[in-house]
Structure 1
Amino acid sequence: MEVQMINSVKTALDVLIAKEKIKTPVKLDVNKGSDVGDGFISKNYVVSIKGNDDKTLSLFVKYLPEEISGVFKTIFVKAFQTERRFYEEIYPEFTKFQLNKKINDPFNNIPEYYKTKVNNGDAPLIIMENLKCLNYVLRDVKTPIDDSHLRISIKAYARYHAISYALKDQDFETFKRLSEDLGDFFSDSFETVGLQTMLISSVNQFIDSLDPVLDKIILGRCNNLLDRLSGVIKNNREKVDEYAVISQGDCRSNNLMFLYNDQNQPIDVKLIDWQCIRYNSPLLDFSYFFYTLSTKETLDKIQTYLNFYYESLCERIIELGSDPKKLFPREVFIDHWRKFAPFGLALSFCVIKLQLFEKDEVPDFFEKQEFDTDSLTHVNKNHKDYIDRVKVIMQHFIDNNLI
């Protein structure tokens, strides 16, 4: 079935074709992109462009539907503006800084971005390379994470965060310009986009599922749990200190694509969503990523992964010409983990539920023009698996006195 493009995407592609000097006439092959639920504030196309000279481009186009209106449009337009700011302003400065330092293996774990002029009246959009054509794929989020996927992802985050520390140390004015006025999508829109609704129902469902005898210890730590977790999400801005970085912000598994070798081991990773970047602790990224996909086995090795992250971070900060002991001392790093780990717990209640949705349970926000409360709060088909996973995480937080 032919897929019809919205006008703003057609216009942007025409500009891109001219900019890339693709010889006309061109052949356009347009298909629907990712499935419902893979992205919650955009729709997308996969576009193949082939010129009369056989020059080709394989693109992934994220866009906000033109019919979106009201408060949701305001929030989502800002998210697109944030992502464009990352690709057009922040990342180029980060890249220049790394090049000046002659880093042999720089952080480049993002897709190639194609800048196109977007008129004020057009729907927001982002055009990037189609990573699937380069054999990058999403990991099955229902499959337990393993050590190799954790390490390659943690290392990428550490190298990304290291740029902020070194740039702030060596060129504070540039870093200040890049980081000022960054919002916090989760804190700013906690109630509006349905996250609060989902957190309330998820926490209540979890508590209701606990056995008064078998789960007595966990139940004992659930007093005011909802209020505490809500506060963790809403009050992140208040915790910004001198150790803050420009973080990715939205670190769920759907926002990482992996490249594999012939032995099916991950050899590279790309971080594909930058709409929620924020200025705050790097441990918000680590905690979000780690706790929303960990298993009992990986949780039991938390100190191993914390050490791996910190050592990777320090190694890259040194390579960039700064002193990690001054910029992010280990005792401060551990304090940040304890302070920001509950953010990962809070998002686990929501993100793991979304990860375990079956295809027919995934809410389609754009179809109804509002967040479907029933879709976000119902007891899903994999409810037992969900409760089991969250219970393991809660026990981890209790054992480590994190909550």
Structure 2
Amino acid sequence: MDKEIKTKIISWVKDALKQEKLDKIDVKFPVTDATGGYSAEIVYVDVRAEKGLETKCYNLIVKKNKDNEVIMDTMNFREVYKKEVYLYSTYVPFLKKFAEKRGSAPFDNIPRCYGTVNETNHYVIVMENLKPKNFRCHPLGGDAMSLDHVKLVITAYAKWHALGLAVRDQDPDVLKGFGKPRHLLENEYLMKSICASIENEMDYVSEIYKKNNDLKPVEVLQKLKENYVQMFRDMLENKDEDVLIARHGDSWNNNFLFHFNEEQNIPDKVMIIDWQAGILGNPMADVNQFLFYCCTRKELEHLDEILKLYHDTLSKKLKELGSDPSKCFPWDVCKKSFERYAPLSIAGVPICSRMCFKGEVKKAFDFADSVESGNVDAMFGNELTDPKKYFERIDGVLKLVIDRKLV
């Protein structure tokens, strides 16, 4: 790691921990001190500090913008970074006070943030590293998330969305901090590249169905392909949409960290991470994306039960917060919203399945490279680790949504 950036990180960490009123701080960088993400850099930091006679230890993550002009400005990630910093520095603390003032528990399914930086060319979040507390992503390449995983995520989303709906009901000006509803994929380069990859994957799966002489899924996939770009743009622009709250916007496998009950080896807590794709929009767009991206037919057979759990949890939380569920988000609106946004997420099932079964990537993907190449294929790998499971997952979901007339 560059000495200059290391010095900056130490300074950011010390500033973030000022609220802890520590007497002495020693900052260390573990051997795996830096890892690269698609759109941000993650640096792991261990802190040993003294507070009077007490020794305190902190395992932290410093999430910072990529120092790349193409990513920052050509691809407009500067606004994306600012929005995530706003969420952690302003919106989440506001939600905590909002809930506590009404005698309701704050949202606790997001990592603790110690501090943020929002200055020219530096957009930084200093947050708790949950790995030492045995939180981990659900592994890719094997079975999909179990119903226990699904219920945890759905319950967490319901509470987050309830807070957003209550704010919209009681203090709507707060949402103006998110500005115009924008998503990181609204950028012209990313929009074109991502949509092309999604459409190509639908074609790839269609060819498998054709070889199997199974033509109904081909018809459905082609219709989704024809309408995908427009559906995507309508979602980003919230066309004909009245229910706008701050939603997560990137509900796929690696953006959830689960803690497990060691005795029974079942998940008992979830943390939602990576809010860079946050957007103002309908809450059911998150729910759709999560269910179709992270589940197989086995879990989706319980769709009615899952949606009922979501709405019951959301309604209970809204009542706690002093808002009327029948006014803010009644069951019939919830169901219609789910049906409206389902096709958009279903269209993404093939490419998300490839992400789950992608082979080893020789070169780390960098969004900046996609501007020159015109595609993001490197993000999705090449060879599939298990082509059979890849297709079975897609086939199961498609057959279920066809049976339920969701497409």
Alignment TM-score > 0.5, same fold: yes
What is the aligned partner in structure 1 of residue 43 from structure 2? 45
Equivalent residue runs for 1:187-336 within 5 Å:
187-188=186-187, 191-192=190-191, 194-211=193-210, 214-236=213-235, 237-239=237-239, 241-262=241-262, 263-336=264-337
Percent of aligned pairs with the same amino acid? 22
Whole-angstrom distance in 2 between the partners of 1:144 and 1:348: 13
- Structure 2 residue 381 is the aligned partner of structure 1 residue 375: no
1:101 and 2:105 correspond = no
Answering whether residue 400 of structure 2 is matched by residue 399 of structure 1, we say no
CA distance in structure 1 between the partners assigned to 2:392 and 2:157 by the alignment: 28
Matching residue's letter, 2:114: Y
TM-score by length of 1: 0.88
Deviations 1:83-116 (A, max 9, x none): 111111211111111001111x432111111224
Alpha-carbon distance in 2 for matches of 1:70, 1:323:
42
User: Which secondary structure does the structure 2 equivalent of 1:206 belong to?
Assistant: helix
Q: Contact between 1:3 and 1:32, CA under 8 Å: does it hold in 2?
A: no
Using the TM superposition, name which of 85-94 and 71-80 deviates more.
71-80
Question: Structure 2 CA distance, aligned partners of 1:31 and 1:51?
Answer: 20
Q: 1:26 and 1:195 mapped to 2: Cα distance?
A: 43
Residue number in structure 2 paired with 1:135: 134
1:41-91 Cα offsets, whole Å, 9 max, x none, are 112111001236633221111222324536666432222111111111211
Say if 1:213 and 1:57 are closer, same or farther in 2 by CA, change over 3 A: closer
CA distance in 1, matches of 2:72, 2:131: 33
Q: State whether structure 2 residue 168 is matched by structure 1 residue 165.
A: no
Unaligned ranges ≥5, structure 1: none
The answer for the alignment partner of 1:386 in structure 2 is 390
Q: CA RMSD in A?
A: 2.8
> Unaligned stretches of 5+ in structure 2?
none
> Is residue 341–residue 402 contact of structure 1 (8 Å, CA) maintained in 2?
yes
2:3 & 2:72 partners in 1: Cα distance?
26
CA gap 1:374/1:281 in 2 versus in 1, 3 angstroms: closer
Higher strand share: 2
Query: How far apart are the structure 1 equivalents of 2:296 and 2:151?
Result: 14
What displacement does 1:126 show?
1.8
1:355 aligns with 2:356: yes
Query: AA paired with 1:128?
Result: M
8 Å Cα contact 2:10/2:27 also seen in 1: no
Return the alpha-carbon distance in structure 2 between the equivalents of residues 369 and 282 of structure 1: 30
* C-alpha contact 1:31 1:46 (8 A) present in aligned 2: no
Partner Cα distance (1:354, 1:365) in 2: 16
TM-superposed CA distance for 1:134, in Å, is 2.2
1:193-252 Cα offsets, whole Å, 9 max, x none, are: 831232122111111111355412212323343121222222211435222221111111
User: Within 2, Cα distance between the matches of 1:362 and 1:313?
Assistant: 42
Contact 1:255 1:272 in 2 (8 A): yes
d(CA) in 2 for partners of 1:32, 1:194: 31
Local SS of the residue matching 1:360: coil
**Over 6 Å off, 4+ runs:** 2-5
CA contact (8 A) 1:187 1:233 kept: no
- Listed one character per residue, the Cα deviations across residues 121-153 of structure 1 (whole Å, up to 9, x for unaligned) are x43322111111222111113332111111011
Conserved? CA contact 1:249–1:274, under 8 Å: yes
How far apart in 2 are the matches of 1:96 and 1:322? 16
How far apart are the structure 1 equivalents of 2:17 and 2:148? 39
Q: Per-residue displacement from partner, 1:287-315 (whole Å, max 9, x unpaired)?
A: 11110011121122211111111111111
CA 1:275–1:376: 2 relative to 1, 3 Å: closer
* 1:146 pairs with 2:146: yes
Residues 25, 193 of structure 1: alpha-carbon distance in 2 compared, 3 angstrom cutoff: farther
Q: Which residue of 2 aligns with 1:59?
A: 60
What does residue 85 of structure 1 align with? 86
**Structure 1 residue 275, shift from structure 2 partner:** 1.0
Q: Cα gap change, 1:70/1:283 in structure 2, threshold over 3 Å: closer, same or farther?
A: closer
- Cα offset, 1:379, TM superposition: 4.9
Instruction: Kindly report which structure 2 residues correspond to 1:169-184, keeping only aligned pairs within 5 A, or say none.
Output: 169-174=169-174, 176-184=175-183
Mapped to 1, the partners of 2:223 and 2:111 lie a distance apart of 42
With 315-324 and 110-119 compared, the bigger mean Cα shift is at 110-119
The alignment's TM-score, normalised by the length of structure 2, stands at 0.88
The offset of 1:6, in angstroms, is 2.5
Give the Cα–Cα distance (whole angstroms) in 2 for the partners of residues 3 and 381 of structure 1. Answer: 36
Comparing 5-14 and 202-211, the one that deviates more: 5-14
SS in 2 for 1:32: coil
- 1:341/1:3 CA distance change after superposition, 3 Å: same
Structure 1 residue 14, shift from structure 2 partner = 4.4
